């Protein structure tokens, strides 16, 4: 089941592409012992990725850009695979490959602009909007790792992770990206005044959670990932996206299911089944 989910998300070229990115000679942006490599190399990224899509959709301008330009319904897996290649290249690839990838994405961003449903203009190159995208992404991947990852980051490592994701975001054009976990939480709180559940956001959430074209063999695994992602969403984000909020079930059955499917993906992709049990509760300051 884990292998089927990985194949769908990573694509047929996933293993070969991963081999090329990791083994190409040359200096890297991030050394092997950096927290960003621990987080972005873990199976918990599958859960964090779904949470990222849900959380980012709450900004109406970010969602307008996705709805009008991404074609996510026609090729959802292609879009997810391209995002995965960007993360893998900037995290694990050579500095030269990372710079080329950033330049390519910046060129795409310059072509993504328009007007949202309420008449507000938007641009994917807007530094403010890029800061929201980065904060939501870093928060989602960090939350997923702390809950479902093979290890746990202490406070200094969590701050370092956020700062390293800020380096990538600022290379893309973001300004003032958070450089500590506390700054990240504070910026997300500030952004809440701009967030709302638009019809486009709720439609995207339904597609991601319910209607994504998943083959029968991977449907159970994907459903567990999606359920785990919803269980990590902040309480204030649930109603705008019409997501359920079941604290008792999320703390027990949902968490157990999320741990099971991420462990299955980790075993299928690395052969590592000697995994630590999750702690009874998360370190202070991690829960959104």
* The 3-state secondary structure of 75-129, one letter per residue: CHHHHHHHHHHHHHHHHHCEHHHHHHHHHHHHHHHHHCEEECCCCCEEECCCHHH
Residue 285 forms part of a structural domain: no
**Contacts of 257-260 spanning 24+ positions with Cβ under 8 A:** 257/224, 257/227, 257/228, 258/47, 258/147, 258/148, 258/224, 258/225, 258/227, 258/228, 258/231, 259/148, 260/224
How many domains does the structure of the chain reveal? Answer: 1
Query: Is 265 or 116 the better-scoring residue by pLDDT?
Result: 116
Host domain of residue 54: 2-270
In the predicted structure, residue 256 carries a pLDDT above the cut 90: no
- Percent of the chain with pLDDT strictly greater than 70: 84
Residue 198 forms part of a structural domain: yes
Residue 167 forms part of a structural domain: yes
Give dist(CA 229, CA 131) in Å, integer: 22
Give dist(CA 26, CA 3) in Å, integer: 30
Tell me how long the chain is.
288
In the predicted structure, residue 282 carries a pLDDT above the cut 50: no
Give dist(CA 21, CA 88) in Å, integer: 7
Residue 211 forms part of a structural domain: yes
Give me the mean pLDDT over the 117-143 stretch. Answer: 94
Residue 281 forms part of a structural domain: no
Residue 163 forms part of a structural domain: yes
Q: What are the pLDDT digits (tens) for 155-206?
A: 999 999 999 999 999 999 999 999 999 999 999 999 999 999 999 999 999 9
Residue 277 forms part of a structural domain: no
Predicted TM-score (pTM) of the model is 0.86
Give dist(CA 99, CA 117) in Å, integer: 34
Tokens of 139: 């928060």
Residue 121 forms part of a structural domain: yes
DSSP 276: P
């Amino acid at each position: 089941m884990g292998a089927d989910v990985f194949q769908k998300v990573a694509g047929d070229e996933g293993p070969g592409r991963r081999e090329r990115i990791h083994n190409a000679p040359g200096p890297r942006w991030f050394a092997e012992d950096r927290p960003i490599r621990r987080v972005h190399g873990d199976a918990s990224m599958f859960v964090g990725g779904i949470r990222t899509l849900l959380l980012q959709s709450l900004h109406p301008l970010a969602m307008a850009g996705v709805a009008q330009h991404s074609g996510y319904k026609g090729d959802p897996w292609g879009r997810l695979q391209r995002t995965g290649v960007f993360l893998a290249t900037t995290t694990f690839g050579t500095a030269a490959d990372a710079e080329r990838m950033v330049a390519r994405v910046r060129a795409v961003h310059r072509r993504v602009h328009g007007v949202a449903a309420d008449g507000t203009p938007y641009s994917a190159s807007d530094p403010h909007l890029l800061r929201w995208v980065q904060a939501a992404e870093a928060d989602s991947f960090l939350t997923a790792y702390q809950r479902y990852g093979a290890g746990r980051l202490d406070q200094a490592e969590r701050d370092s992770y956020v700062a390293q994701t800020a380096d990538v975001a600022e290379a893309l054009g973001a300004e003032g990206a958070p450089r500590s976990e506390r700054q990240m939480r504070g910026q997300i709180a500030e952004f809440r005044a701009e967030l709302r559940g638009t019809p486009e956001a709720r439609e995207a959430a339904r597609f991601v959670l319910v209607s994504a074209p998943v083959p029968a063999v991977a449907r159970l695994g994907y459903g567990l990932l999606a359920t785990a992602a919803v269980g990590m969403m902040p309480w204030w984000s649930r109603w705008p996206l019409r997501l359920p909020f079941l604290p008792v079930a999320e703390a027990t059955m949902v968490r157990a299911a999320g741990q099971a499917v991420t462990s299955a993906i980790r075993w299928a992709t690395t052969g590592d089944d000697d995994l630590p049990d999750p702690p009874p509760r998360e370190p202070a300051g991690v829960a959104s």
